[in-house]
Amino acid sequence: MSYASMPNTYEEFIKAFHPKSGLDLKFYKQNQMQRRILSFMNSHGHPTYPEFLKALGVDSVLYDAFFKHLTINVSQFFRDVNQWITLRETIIPLLLQSKNPLKLWSAGCSSGQEPYSLAMTMIDYFPTAKFTVLGSDIDVNVLKQAKDGLYKQNDFASTPPEILLKYFTPLDMGYQIKDSVKRQVTFQHQNLLTDRFQSGYDFIACRNVVIYFTDDAKEILYKKFVDSLRPGGILFTGSTEHLFGMNQLGLKSISSFFYQKK
């Protein structure tokens, strides 16, 4: 693409960015996403879409920072602690009544805090249960951090101190997750909107991932999740993500933010 023919509008920019990144921004709400892109361009000194796209093509550090900015990787261990109490006291026991081993998936897992939280919950509270945990994300850089298992102090704002002591090794720069947890989790690069999913999951957590998606994109994604759950399986959503069309999807609410496939 010549510099002269590069995109001058938001629509042209997202169309040109899609083949390079695999990220189709038409599935995201335009107002919020356009604001995020323009704020990033301004803060990095790129005044126009053509100039910015050209810079993304030659500067891999800029590209990685921009991709991370777009995919909004904010996570913590045991984020929304009351929901994790519901998970271990109600949801996991309910699933284990009819199935063992459990097949668990953290979709849009960022740098691994959520799938590792799932694994630690299973190890700590259900020591006789067998399980697998998958963590998937579209950003290869956060997946690398997840596989490395290195975290900073601010990742543990919601973490019980005894969990930190039991499952992490303190280092100069933060904490390393122990191999006993690490080997329970598999990570995979995945585009939730375009890739095919495995089936037979007992539990899918997709939290704080869809907040910038259009309604059409959410509908596509939630239908795919329901198809991937076994009957009786559970979908766990974020604390701002109520499912209003759950009956049409074949789900019923069993607790706040936990939905069971009928």
Domains and CATH numbers, the chain: 3-71 (no CATH), 81-261 (3.40.50.150)
- For residue 219 the two structure tokens come to 């509908």
Looking at the DSSP bridge assignments, the partners of residue 234 are 203, 260
CA distances from 250 to 30, 195, 247, 260 (A): 29, 22, 5, 8
> Rounded distance, CA 250 to CA 262, Å?
6
Q: Looking at residue 189, what is its pLDDT?
A: 96
Cβ–Cβ under 8 Å, residues 211 and 202: no
Smallest Cα–Cα separation from 221: which of 230, 116, 231, 211?
211
Q: Looking at residue 20, what is its pLDDT?
A: 81
> Rounded distance, CA 233 to CA 230, Å?
5
Smallest Cα–Cα separation from 199: which of 109, 249, 261, 142?
261
* Amino acid symbol at 197: F
Smallest Cα–Cα separation from 110: which of 82, 147, 83, 154?
147
CA distances from 65 to 27, 77, 151, 193, 239 (A): 21, 23, 18, 22, 27
Say which residues have a Cβ less than 8 Å from residue 213's Cβ, sequence separation at least 6.
Answer: 27, 28, 29, 221
Would you list the DSSP string of 220-237? HHHHHHHHHEEEEEEEEE
- For residue 70 the two structure tokens come to 């777009």
Angle, CA 75 vertex, CA 226 and CA 41 arms, to 5°: 105
Q: Looking at residue 73, what is its pLDDT?
A: 61
Going residue by residue through the chain (262 aa), what tens digit of pLDDT does each one get? 433 445 678 999 999 998 888 888 888 889 888 998 999 999 999 999 999 999 999 999 999 889 888 876 667 899 888 899 999 999 999 999 988 899 999 999 999 999 999 999 999 999 999 999 999 999 888 999 999 999 998 889 889 889 999 999 999 889 999 999 999 999 999 999 999 999 999 999 999 888 888 889 998 999 999 999 999 999 999 877 777 777 888 999 999 999 999 9
